[in-house]
Amino acid sequence: MSSAMATRLSDLFGNSRILAGLLVNLLSSICIVFINKWIYVHYGFPNMTLTLIHFVVTWLGLFMCQKMDIFSPKSLRPSKIILLALSFCGFVVFTNLSLQSNTIGTYQLAKTMTTPVIIVIQTLYYRKTFSTKIKLTLVPITLGVILNSYYDVKFNLLGMIFATLGVFVTSLYQVWVGAKQHELQVNSMQLLYYQAPMSSAFLLVLVPFFEPLTGEGGIFGPWSFQALGMVLLSGVIAFLVNLSIYWIIGNTSPVTYNMFGHFKFCITLLGGYVLFQDPLSLNQGLGILCTLSGILAYTHFKLAEQEEGKSKLLQRP
């Protein structure tokens, strides 16, 4: 581990407020995966409807936050964020469909492909340059995901299609969020405050075409109070995930959040095998280790480049 990474970690764990924020994010991020998987496996709740509930609860949560002066809303023209709202729908729906159709291990590893895809998009369309070291870390990440998917005994072609679409749309969404924040001069919470209700409206129109409204498995079907309670809890936790992400990035940095993400990645994988008895072959284990080594190397080099950039700025007369 580099001295810069070690220093940053010691600073984090020495600050009780940041430690509390990291703990909230850790628990909510892990819980949302397991609760959603539980809802799909044990209740068969419709995917897009669950996503719609998440969006509505997130918007209501943000509405309460702005009433409590946690952030100030900024007026935005709907035409400026319509594509962002659509991509938000796509990335959450496809990511949830990937979770529904795949084992938690395959779902979690597929998500790591977002980093290589973002780099490809930024290189091709935004003419952004990346160092050779950063590009080389994409090799073990990609190789590990391929190894895990190939040897997954519960391999599901439809699940892999959903995972691939999820990665592509998530990457587009993340690139566009950064571009829109810069273009419109807004922070993440201000952007999400306008984006969440617009995304909810899109899903509200689409849900009746893809999911039954009544009867078994329908939106207004005979759901038990336990199922509805789990769905509502899932929506509240989804809001806590979003809120804690923005709080951590705002009080630390995207790289710190990324570093913390590796820890969540390992715990979520472990939980999938314990809670849902997802099978794990030796080759899958090698794939996971391969991907994790690539992610750690990517974070190490990214952090080193940022520290180098800061020191150059400080040395300027």
**8 A C-beta contact, residue 243 and residue 61:** yes
Per-residue model confidence (pLDDT) at position 57: 94
Tens digit of each residue's pLDDT (9 = 90 or more) over 209-240: 888 877 777 777 788 899 899 999 999 999 98
CA-to-CA dists, residue 168 to 52, 55, 65, 250, angstroms? 21, 20, 31, 26
Nearest partner of 188 among 199, 198, 179, judged by Cα: 179
Amino acid sitting at position 212? P
**8 A C-beta contact, residue 245 and residue 25:** yes
More confident residue, 146 or 15: 146
CA-to-CA dists, residue 55 to 5, 48, 177, 254, angstroms? 35, 11, 17, 23
d(CA 41, CA 38): 5
Give the pLDDT band of residue 245 (cuts 50, 70, 90): confident
Q: Average the pLDDT over 126-153 and give the result.
A: 82
CA angle 109, 114, 117 (to 5 degrees): 130
**8 A C-beta contact, residue 256 and residue 248:** yes
Residue given tokens 């709907």 in the structure block? 78
Q: Average the pLDDT over 30-52 and give the result.
A: 89
d(CA 159, CA 107): 9
How many C-beta neighbours within 10 Å does residue 13 have?
10
The DSSP call for residue 41 is I
Q: What mean pLDDT, rounded, does the chain reach?
A: 81
Per-residue model confidence (pLDDT) at position 177: 82
pTM for this entry: 0.77
Nearest partner of 109 among 248, 266, 303, 252, judged by Cα: 266
Tens digit of each residue's pLDDT (9 = 90 or more) over 148-179: 777 766 667 888 899 999 999 988 888 888 78
Give the pLDDT band of residue 289 (cuts 50, 70, 90): confident
Amino acid sitting at position 172? L
d(CA 120, CA 174): 13
Per-residue model confidence (pLDDT) at position 273: 72
Q: What is the dihedral angle through the alpha carbons of 145, 147, 148, 154, rounded to the nearest 10 degrees?
A: 130
